[in-house]
Structure 1
Amino acid sequence: MRDVMERRSFLLLLLLVSLLFVLLLKPFWGAIFWACAISIIFHPMQERLRKHLGDKPNRVALLTLLICVVIVVLPIFLIATAFAQEGLALYQRVDKGEINPSEWLEQIRNAFPTIPQWFDRLGIDLGSVRESIAKGAASTGKLMAEKALGAGQITFSFIMNSALMLYLTFFLLRDGRTLIELMIKALPLGDARERKLFTKFAEVTRATVKGNLVVAIVQGALGGFIFWALSLPSPILWAVVMAFLSLIPAVGAGIVWLPVAIYLYATGDWVSATILVSFGALVIGMADNVLRPLLVGRDTKLPDYLVLFSTLGGISLMGINGFVIGPLIAALFLVVWDIFMREFNGENPHVITERSTESNHKYEKIAASSVKDEA
């Protein structure tokens, strides 16, 4: 009896201390998560460096981290600086009245006379809509400028989180295998199940981050290119916005280029508007429809609809990190239920499939023999 009480008390203490430790790390959750993601993504490169440099964990981890900084961190810093500059310039033009969104709406209204009729049928006052858009654009521009200015100045919080992320990434690259083995040894889920879960975690994280980032970069670059080619203002700013929006499957960059195309039609620039619509639908849209299933759905082994809903749900619950965490939770959900069906439900799904296949073969043989007999 005493041993049972001591064991339960210790397990309760273990749970309490673990929860306190998680709360202690809560302010650094983003840095920890992205350190884990970076170490997983760059693990294959680390293995190739280890083959060339030998068993020198510190040197291999440091070189891998430097490559990561050159490939990922510096380009993001440069793009963020250009984004901040164009965001500030756009806000200043809105603040001075050089750009007036209410005038845009009025031009669209005059160009498409049927739009007011649609609004009237729906019981919507177009004047109040115009005022709301003007106020919303001003507040959004101000907020965008504040965010851009904060990113351009690189606040202390950004520096600290980035430094912590890179610092932790180095140790995860160096000691990742040891940490995984310790976790497998500590968790009471069964070593085989734990290895399967960790493997799935690595696969989905690598596929989701790489796939979504590639799609975002491609769509943002294409959107920025067409804005620059058509001499539209702030192409880098809208390229970054389209890149972020492209993280949302089935919606993406169309939120930006479609209203711009409608405005161009309203102002009589039919050639630029048609080019923008064609390029947006055929090139930018096809990049999402082709690349995302190949890079995300195929590697994560998740259906497209599950990738869509888990991504949207993850973003709504956890912000920008949710585009990775959402599909990750969905994949782990499927893996856990697969383990349950295999080990706890008394049936193996593959066995069921094999039995049904054998039954089909038997049925085909019986049908073929009956046809011969009739002949």
Structure 2
Amino acid sequence: MHEKLETRTFLLFLFIVTIGFILLLKPFFGTIFWACAIAIIFAPLHDKFSARWPNSPNRSAFATLTLCILVVIIPVVIVISSVISEGVVFYDKLQSGEISPGRYIDSMHTAFPALNNLLAKLGFDIENLKNDAINAAMSSGKFIAGHTLTIGQNAFGFLVNLVLMLYIAFFMLRDGNYLVDLMVRALPLGDTRERMLFALFAEVTRATIKGNVVIAILQGSIGGITLWALGVHGALLWGVLMAFASLIPALGSALVWVPIALYLTAVGEITSALILAGVGAGVIGMLDNVLRPILVGRDTKLPDYIVLLSTLGGIAMFGINGFVIGPLVAALFIAFWGIFIHDVNADDPDLQNEKAPEPPKADN
């Protein structure tokens, strides 16, 4: 009885201390998450360096992290700074009246009378839409300008978080196998299950980030280059917005290029609108429909609709980090239930030998 009380008391304090430690690290959740993601994505490269320098773990981790900085971190920082500059220019043009959302609404009103009749039947007033568009544009401009000022004022904080992320990633790369073995020993789930779940965690994280990032880069680059070739102002800004919008499955970058194509039609640039629509639907849309199931759905072993719902839910709950966390939680959910079903039916030879139903395959 006394031993049970001691054990329960110890487990209670273990739970309290663990929760306290998690709350302590909560402000650094994004930093730690992306450090783990970097370690997972670059683990194969780190393994090659480790094979080359088997007695120099620090050297292997440093070489891997250096390549990560050159290939990923520096280009991302350059793109972000360029987008911020274009955002400031966009806000200045809004304030000066060079860009007028009301004028664009009037152009759409003239070019698409059928759309106006439809909006009127649905109870939308054109003048109210115009005012809402102006307010939304000004709010967006103030948001961009305000965040630009915030980023400038908090440059030191951003730099600290970046250095902290790379610092943690270094140790994740160097000590990753040791940390996994330590957690396998600590968690009471069974070593086989734990290693399977950790492997699934790494596989889904790697597939989701690599797949979505590749798609985002391709769609944003193609969209931005197309807009630049068509002479659309702020092509870099719109291209980056397409890249971020591509993280939303099904809708994706169409949220950006469709309104631009409609505006080009409204102002009489029919050829440019047709070119943009052709590239958007024929190239950008094809990349999303073809590559996303291959790069994300196949490697995560999740159906397309689960990838869609989990990505949208993850973004709604966790912001930009959610495009990875959502599918990861969905994959772990399916894995845990698969283990549970297997264990429940382990003692029933009829159910154990019964072949699990397969999901229907899409028509080719």
TM-score (norm. length: structure 1): 0.92
1:193-342 paired onto structure 2 within 5 Å: 193-342=193-342
Instruction: State which of 328, 349, 354 in structure 2 corresponds to 1:352.
Output: 354
Q: Which has the greater radius of gyration?
A: 1
Matched AA of 1:321? N
Query: Unpaired segments of 5 or more residues in structure 1?
Result: 358-375
User: Residue in 1 aligned with 2:8?
Assistant: 8
Q: State the distance in 2 between where 1:114 and 1:172 align.
A: 59
1:17-166 paired onto structure 2 within 5 Å: 17-151=17-151, 155-166=155-166
Following superposition, the deviation at residue 49 of structure 1 comes to 1.1
CA 1:34–1:171: 2 relative to 1, 3 Å? same
Following superposition, the deviation at residue 350 of structure 1 comes to 7.0
Q: State the distance in 2 between where 1:92 and 1:5 align.
A: 68
Q: Is the 8 A contact 1:257 1:280 kept in 2?
A: yes
SS of match in other structure, 2:337: helix
Following superposition, the deviation at residue 129 of structure 1 comes to 1.1
Matched AA of 1:278? G
Following superposition, the deviation at residue 341 of structure 1 comes to 1.1
SS of match in other structure, 1:188: coil
Matched AA of 2:59? R
Query: Unpaired segments of 5 or more residues in structure 2?
Result: 359-364
Q: State the distance in 1 between where 2:22 and 2:159 align.
A: 23
Q: Is the 8 A contact 2:37 2:206 kept in 1?
A: yes
Q: Is the 8 A contact 1:315 1:321 kept in 2?
A: yes
Is the deviation greater in 337-346 or in 89-98?
337-346
Q: State the distance in 2 between where 1:151 and 1:235 align.
A: 22
CA 1:185–1:311: 2 relative to 1, 3 Å? same
Following superposition, the deviation at residue 4 of structure 1 comes to 0.7
Matched AA of 2:307? V
Q: State the distance in 2 between where 1:42 and 1:114 align.
A: 53
Matched AA of 1:157? G
Q: State the distance in 1 between where 2:344 and 2:56 align.
A: 44
Q: State the distance in 1 between where 2:38 and 2:128 align.
A: 47
Q: State the distance in 2 between where 1:152 and 1:231 align.
A: 30
Following superposition, the deviation at residue 115 of structure 1 comes to 2.0
SS of match in other structure, 2:355: helix
Q: Is the 8 A contact 1:315 1:326 kept in 2?
A: yes
4+ runs deviating over 6 angstroms: none
Following superposition, the deviation at residue 233 of structure 1 comes to 0.4
Cα deviation 1:173-208 (Å, max 9, x = unaligned): 111111111100011111111111101000000000
Q: State the distance in 2 between where 1:282 and 1:324 align.
A: 27
Q: Is the 8 A contact 1:83 1:148 kept in 2?
A: no
SS of match in other structure, 1:353: coil
Q: State the distance in 2 between where 1:81 and 1:325 align.
A: 26
Q: Is the 8 A contact 1:81 1:152 kept in 2?
A: no
Cα deviation 1:29-77 (Å, max 9, x = unaligned): 0000000010000000001111222331010001101011001100001
Q: Is the 8 A contact 2:310 2:330 kept in 1?
A: yes
Following superposition, the deviation at residue 149 of structure 1 comes to 4.4
Q: State the distance in 2 between where 1:153 and 1:93 align.
A: 23
Matched AA of 1:7? T
Matched AA of 1:87? G
Q: State the distance in 1 between where 2:155 and 2:131 align.
A: 34
Q: State the distance in 1 between where 2:320 and 2:148 align.
A: 17
User: Residue in 1 aligned with 2:182?
Assistant: 182
Following superposition, the deviation at residue 90 of structure 1 comes to 0.8
Q: State the distance in 2 between where 1:54 and 1:3 align.
A: 46
Is the deviation greater in 151-160 or in 93-102?
151-160
Q: Is the 8 A contact 2:310 2:327 kept in 1?
A: yes
TM-score (norm. length: structure 2): 0.95
Seq. identity, %? 50
Matched AA of 2:158? F
